[in-house]
Chain A
Amino acid sequence: MSLTDDTSGDGGNRWYDLFSRGTRDWLRHNEKVREAVRENLPDLVAGSDVLSRPGDRTVQVPVKFMEHARFKLRDSDEQTGAGQGNAKPGDVLRESQQRRGGAGKEGGGEGEGSITFVLEFQIDDILDWLWEELELPHLQPKQGNSIEADEYVREGWDKRGARSRLDRRRTMKESIKRRGAHPESNVPISNEDLRFRQLARRSRPSTNAVVFLLLDVSSSMDEHCRKLAKTFFFWALQGIRRQFSQIEMVFVAHTVEAWEFQEEEFFQVHGQGGTKSSAGLAKVQEVLDQRYDPGQYNCYLFYATDGHNFSEDREAAMAALEKLAPAMNFMGYAEVAHHSHRRLETEVAAIYDRLAAEGLPTGSYSMVEESDIWPAIKAFFSDQAADADAV
C-alpha cells in the first residue's frame, strides 16, 4: 500500500498540473473546425449574422462538433433495450412524437456530433481567406491626386525647440558623450546637450473613407431582403476597410422620404409606402455636402433595394446619381428580391446600367437567397480589384 497525495508534502506541482491534455486536444479540434469552416467560406460569409457589433473585429459562427467517424450500424426503425423500474409489458414509457424537421437525413448526427458551439473568427482572417480564395491583388487606396491630406511626421533633431518636444533619451546621450570627452566638466546637462524632435509637414494620400449605405425600407422590403442587404453591406464594408485607416459610415433609409439613422436602428427601420430612390439619393447628397469634402474622403455608395422604383422617378434618380458620381470612388447596387427570375431587370437596375454605360464606376449585384451573397461579394471585390488595377 502507498498513498501519494500531491496536495501535501513537497508542495510542488505534479506533472499533470502543468498542462491539460484535454485542453490541447480540444484546441486542436477547434483548429480543425476552423479549417473546415474556411473550406466553406461561402456559407460563412452568407450565414454570419454581423454588423450589429460595431467596433468588434470578430464574427461569431455557430459550428458543430466534429465527429470522429467509426463503423456503426444504421439506425433501425426499432431498437430494443433493457431498462429497469416499475413497468409492465404494454406500458408506453414515451408517446410517439412528431418528427422534428430535418430528421431522417443520413449521417445527421445524434450524440456529440450534433452539439453546436460558437467559434469566434477574426474578420481580418476571413478577409485574408477571401482574398486568397479570390486571388485578388492587394488593394491600394485610390491614389486620386486630389485626395491628399497634410500630416506631421517626426524627422530628425534640432538643438532648439518647444519644451514639449524635448527628446530626453537623445539629450542624455549627448550629455554622456560630452562628459566622456571632457571629464573635467561637472555640468550634468548643458544647453548644448538638449535635443528636440523636429516635425516636418508632409502631404500624403488620404486614407479616410466614408461609406454611404442607402437602404430602401418601403413595405416591399421584408426581413428576408434586409438580411441579404445587411450581410452584403457588411462584407463590402470590410473589403473597403482593408484599404483605409479611417472609415466612417452614413446610414440612410428611404421610402418616398429619406432619413439618416444610427447603425443600431438602421436595420430595424420599417417604413410605409412606396419607393422613391431620388429621395434617398438626395439625402446622401445632402450629408455629403454638409459633412464630407470629397477632396478629403474616398467616398463609396451602396444602395440596396428590391429595385421597384416609381417609374416617374426614373429621371430624377438618374440625375441624382449622376450628380453624386464625380465624388464617388464606387457606386454599388445590391438588388435584393424574392424571385430568381428576371434578375436585374428592375427600374433601378436599368438606371445603374445606364451609369455603367457612361463609364462610371458602378457594380450591380443581385441576391435572392443566401447562396447569392457569396457570388455578389466575390463580384464586388473583383470589380474593386479590377478598378484598382486600372488606375
Chain B
Amino acid sequence: MAETLKEFIPKIERLAQEQGLEYYPVDFELVPQSFMMEVAVYGLPVRMPHWSFGVRWIYQMVQHRMGHSKIFEVVFPGNPNRAYLVDTNSVEENTLVVAHVLGHADFSHNNMTFVRSQQQAGYHIVEQAAAHAHRIEEVIETEGTKRVEQVLDAALALEQHIDTNQALNRPDYYRERRPEGGDEGGPAGSEGGDGGFRNRFAQLPGEGTDAEPRARRAPSAPIPPQPESDLLWFIAHYAPEMEDWERDIFLAVREESYYFQPVFNCQIMNEGWASYWHSRLLREAEFLPSAMYVDCMKTHSDVVRPYGSDKQIALQVNPYHLGYTMWEKLVEEKGLEAARQIMREEDDFGFVRNYLTPELAEQLQLFVFNAKKNGEIKVTDSNLHELHEAILSPKFNFGAPRVQAQEVKQDGTLVLRHNHAGDGRGLDAARARRVLEYVDRVWRRPVRLFTTDERGREICLKPGWEED
C-alpha cells in the first residue's frame, strides 16, 4: 500500500495546486490503528497524562470493538502539517484521505481563525504539546503523581474557559501602570525620564508568564478590572499562592486550548471543505484506475452522509454532510473564488447564519426538534433562524457555559459568576461544586460561584466539601 500511496501523493498534490489550493507542506505518516485511537482521544499525538483521557480511551476502544467507530485520518495544522493515516485502512480509503487532508491543509493555511491561532500558538503544536507533556512528566518525578494530577484536574476542567479575543501572551492588567508605582526591580527604578522606554518594552512578547507584577498593583485597583472569561489565564496569573510549575501546567493547557478552539469553531466549514476537495480532486484524478475511483467514492459516501445506512432520520446533523453540501452549492452558485473568500473569512457561526439558506435547509431535510425530559421527541415548527441556532448552540463559547471571574476579595476569595441569563439556565450544581473543589486546590483561598437554581433564584455554590 505504501508504494501505491507514495506514487499517488505527488500526483494528488499537483492536482490540488493546479486547483488553487495553498498550504504548508504536509507530512503523511502511516500509523497503526491503536495510535490513531489515542490521537483521537487525546487530540494530539503526545499529550499530558490524565486519568480522564483513560476513560475516553476505554470508551473509544469499546466503540471500536463494537464497530461503531472508524477513524480515517487526523491532521495537525502547522508548518509542516502532520497527517496520520491508518496503515490497516485500504489504499482506496487512504487515497481519499490524502485528498481530504490537502483540503484541510488549504483551510488551515487560509482561514482567518486558524491563521490567527497559529500565529499565536505557533506552527508546531505537535512538538509543543509533546514538550508540555515532557515537562509535566518531569514535574511528576519531583512533585508526585497526586499533586500534579490535582493541578491537571483543575486546568483540564477549565480547558474551554479561554478568551481567544485576547492574545495568547497577554500582559497583566496593570502592567502599564507599573512605573508609577515605583518599580524597585528595574535598574532605573525611581528615576524619571525613561518612561517612554519602559512603556515601550513593558509588554515584551512572552512576558505574560512572568509571575512578578501581580504583587505590585495599586491596592485600590480591582482584580479583575472587568469580568474575566479566560479562567486558565486568570488563575495562572492571579492565584495567591500558586507555584511556578502549577502555573506552567495551566498555561500549557491554555496554549493547547488556543490550538483546539479553531478546530472546534470551524468544524462544519473545515470538514465540509476537505470533503468537497477530496471529492473534487479524485473526480479529476485521471491517473486513478476507474475501479479504484469507484471504491474511493464509496468511502466518500460512507463518511459524507446524513444518517446511518439503516436509518431515515438522525437527531444530529453530520458536519461533514452539511459542510460538504453547503460548499458544493456555494461553488456552484458563486464560483470558486467567492467560495475561497468565504472560507478565509468565516467561522461556523457566520458560515451557517449567512449561507445555510432556506432552499438548502429544505434540500437537506433539516429540522428542529424538541426533546422533553419524559423522553418524547417532537419535530417543531421552526423558522430558519431557529434552525441556525439549533445547529450552532452547542458550539457557543467553546461548548461551555459562560463562567467569568468577577472579583478577588480582600481575603483572596475568588468569586466566579455564571452568566445564566446568556445561557438560559443555571449550572448543574453537583458538577459545578466538584469543579470548585478542583479550583480550590490551586487557588488556595475560598472559591465561590454564583449561578441560579431550577427556579431561577440566584445561588452561591461552594466546593463540595464545604457544603452542609
Contact = CB atoms under 8 A, between A and B. Distances in A.
B449 to A, nearest CB: 9
A22 B40 CA distance: 11
15 contacts: A22-B41, A25-B57, A32-B51, A71-B401, A72-B432, A73-B401, A77-B373, A80-B393, A82-B368, A84-B313, A85-B314, A86-B312, A90-B378, A91-B379, A97-B376
Closest 10 CB pairs of A and B: A107-B430, A85-B313, A25-B54, A22-B57, A26-B54, A69-B434, A68-B52, A89-B381, A97-B375, A96-B376
A9 to B, nearest CB: 9
B380 A89 contact: yes
B25 A1 contact: yes
Interface string B373-389: 11111111110001100
Contacts of A149: none
A250 interface: no
Nearest to B62: A115
Contacts, number: 260
Nearest to B429: A106
A66 B87 CA distance: 33
A16 B31 contact: yes
Contacts of B13: 1
A74 B9 contact: no
Interface in A5-36: 5-8, 14, 16-17, 20-30, 32
Contacts of B47: 21
Interface in B46-95: 46-47, 49-61, 87
Interface in B288-317: 306-307, 311-317
A22 B61 contact: yes
A164 interface: no
Interface of A: 1-8, 14, 16-17, 20-30, 32, 65-97, 99, 106-107, 112, 115
Contacts of B30: 3-7
A71 B375 contact: no
Nearest to B402: A71
Contact of B313 (A23, A27, A83): A83
A72 B51 contact: no
A81 B428 CA distance: 19
B318 interface: yes
B372 interface: yes
A73 B454 CA distance: 11
Given A82-B317, A93-B315, A94-B376, A68 B366 contact: no
B57 A83 contact: no
A68 B49 contact: no
B160 interface: yes
A1 B10 contact: yes
A86 B367 CA distance: 9
B418 interface: yes
A2 B30 CA distance: 11
Contacts of B425: 73-74, 76
A68 B159 CA distance: 12
Contacts of B6: 3
B331 interface: no
Interface in B99-140: none
B59 A115 contact: yes
B2 A8 contact: yes
B10 A81 contact: no
A78 B153 contact: no
B2 A112 contact: no
B369 interface: yes
A2 B426 CA distance: 50
B296 to A, nearest CB: 18
A20 B34 contact: yes
Contacts of B427: 71-74
B contact patch SS: mixed
Nearest to B372: A78
Interface in B1-21: 2, 5-6, 9-10, 13
Q: Which of B35, B60, B159 has the most CB of A within 10 A?
A: B35
- Size bin of chain B's contact surface: 35 or more
Interface of B: 2, 5-6, 9-10, 13, 25-32, 34-35, 37-38, 41-42, 45-47, 49-61, 87, 145, 149, 153, 156-157, 159-161, 306-307, 311-318, 321, 364-382, 386-387, 390-391, 393, 400-401, 403, 418, 423-432, 434-435, 438, 454
A83 B31 contact: no
Nearest to B156: A68
Contacts of A69: 157, 431-432, 434-435, 438
A78 B153 CA distance: 31
A376 to B, nearest CB: 28
Contacts of B159: 70
A329 B359 CA distance: 87
A5 B400 CA distance: 39
Q: Which of B54, B391, B429 has the most CB of A within 10 A?
A: B54
A17 B438 contact: no
A233 B54 CA distance: 37
Contact of B431 (A5, A70, A99): A70
B135 to A, nearest CB: 16
Contacts of B149: 28
Q: Which of B315, B418, B426 has the most CB of A within 10 A?
A: B315
Contacts of B438: 69
Given A2-B27, A29-B51, A107-B429, 19 more contacts: A2-B28, A22-B61, A24-B54, A25-B51, A25-B52, A26-B51, A26-B55, A67-B55, A69-B438, A70-B157, A83-B369, A84-B367, A85-B312, A85-B314, A85-B365, A86-B312, A97-B375, A106-B429, A107-B430
Contact of B390 (A29, A65, A74, A81): A81
A28 B430 contact: no
A81 B391 CA distance: 7
Contact of A93 (B307, B313, B391): B313
Contacts of B382: 89
A80 B390 contact: yes
Given A21-B42, A88-B379, A83 B366 contact: yes
Contacts of B51: 25-26, 28-29, 32, 66, 68
Q: Which of B25, B307, B367, B432 has the most CB of A within 10 A?
A: B367
B367 A82 contact: yes
Contact of A22 (B53, B307, B372, B381): B53
B57 A85 contact: no
B270 to A, nearest CB: 19
Nearest to A3: B28
B133 to A, nearest CB: 9
B27 A90 contact: no
B377 A92 contact: yes
Given A72-B427, A81-B369, A93 B403 contact: no
A87 B393 CA distance: 21
B55 A94 contact: no
A73 B314 CA distance: 24
A68 B253 CA distance: 15
A276 B5 CA distance: 83
A16 B45 CA distance: 9
Contact of B27 (A4, A16, A22, A76): A4
Nearest to A33: B51
B48 to A, nearest CB: 10
A89 B380 CA distance: 5
Contacts of A22: 37-38, 41, 53-54, 57-58, 60-61
Given A7-B30, A65-B55, A80 B370 contact: yes
Contacts of B429: 74, 106-107
Contact of B2 (A7, A68, A76): A7
Contacts of A74: 425-429, 454
Contacts of A81: 315-316, 368-369, 371, 390
